Amino acid sequence: MIQALKPGKYVVAVSGGVDSVALLHALTLLPDVELVVAHFDHGIRPDSNEDAKHVLQLAKKYGLPFELGEASLGPNVSEELARDMRYNFLKIAAAKHSADGIITAHHQDDLIETAIINMSRGTGRHGLSSLRTHSNLIRPLLSTTKQELRSYAESQGLVWRDDSSNTDNKYLRNYIRNNIVPKLSSDQRDHLLHHINRVQGLNQQIDSLLDNYVTHHSYRRGNRVYSRSWFNQLPHDFAASVLHHILRNNQVSDYTKKQIDLLVVKIKAGRPGSLLDLDGEHQIGLTKRSFRLLARS
């Protein structure tokens, strides 16, 4: 069930649901793999602390270290904020334990759900392949279906907790999960997955070309300083793609398409010495000849 995993130490994100409980069990069977169990309690449901207790007991059962993160986000929190806080916690846990990577239980159904959501929102070319394994964020179940995970958990006698909020169809992801994905035929799933994989391959080629292109127009390789005269000559949509690529390569992800479009205009027309706000941690600084990604002081 688990795709190839290099020997090393990993932080495993465990919610207490069937997917992550099955993942954790399978990982404990692998040789030369050291695990740290991590659970983030978003504080969205009144009984969410019971999930944390269940995951703690699993960690004790397997004799593994346990890391707990907590927040009080409430039932009306956005999916984006909850995700950002969860991944920030996981990154902190990984740094604390000097882990080689973070493992999550995203599976094939999640891949399809995310692609449908992003298509409905009109996201760019990365929207169809946003769930994938990165160098330190590992998703070994992307070829495994939800039903296969449930069958595995049942066959192993595993115990998990069901999140009652997953049945609330007011959330777009839940609606797609409960009403669209289950109705896809085997041929439709295969067809969609084929296109997702094809787009992912094309994205890798495009990103490689963009790397070379952006580096060629960078004043100082590795110092995130780029030519404004070059950038100003780019058509708006292509400039937005270039800026998006620069931000992704520098691990900046908390922004919207609207922000990117506005930043393109400001980079092209802004006065030297201006600082353009990007997110809580980054700004873009302008000089007469260049723009540069800066850590917010």
What percentage of the chain exceeds 90 in pLDDT?
A: 52
Q: What is the pLDDT of residues 180-199, one digit of tens each?
A: 999 999 999 999 899 888 88
Rg (C-alpha) for the chain, rounded Å, is: 21
pLDDT of the residue at 256: 77
Q: Which residues contact 225 (CB under 8 A, 6 or more apart)?
A: 218, 219, 290, 291, 292
CB-count exposure of residue 270 (10 Å: 0-12, 13-18, 19+): middle
pLDDT of the residue at 131: 66
- H-run or E-run covering 38: strand 33-41
For 155, the token pair is: 């066959």
pLDDT of the residue at 222: 56
Q: Which domains does the chain have, with CATH numbers?
A: 8-185 (3.40.50.620), 217-295 (3.30.465.60)
DSSP 25: H
> Would residue 251 be called left, alpha or beta, if left means φ above 0 and alpha means ψ between -120 and 50 degrees?
left
CB-count exposure of residue 244 (10 Å: 0-12, 13-18, 19+): buried
In angstroms, the CA 291 to CA 90 distance is: 32
Q: Which residues contact 25 (CB under 8 A, 6 or more apart)?
A: 153, 156, 158
In angstroms, the CA 112 to CA 194 distance is: 11
Q: What is the pLDDT of residues 85-130, one digit of tens each?
A: 899 999 999 999 999 999 999 999 999 998 888 877 666 666 666 6
Residue owning tokens 């398409």:
257
In angstroms, the CA 16 to CA 23 distance is: 11
Q: Which residues of the chain have pLDDT under 50?
A: none
Strand pairing report for 290-295 and 282-286: antiparallel
For 234, the token pair is: 């780019």
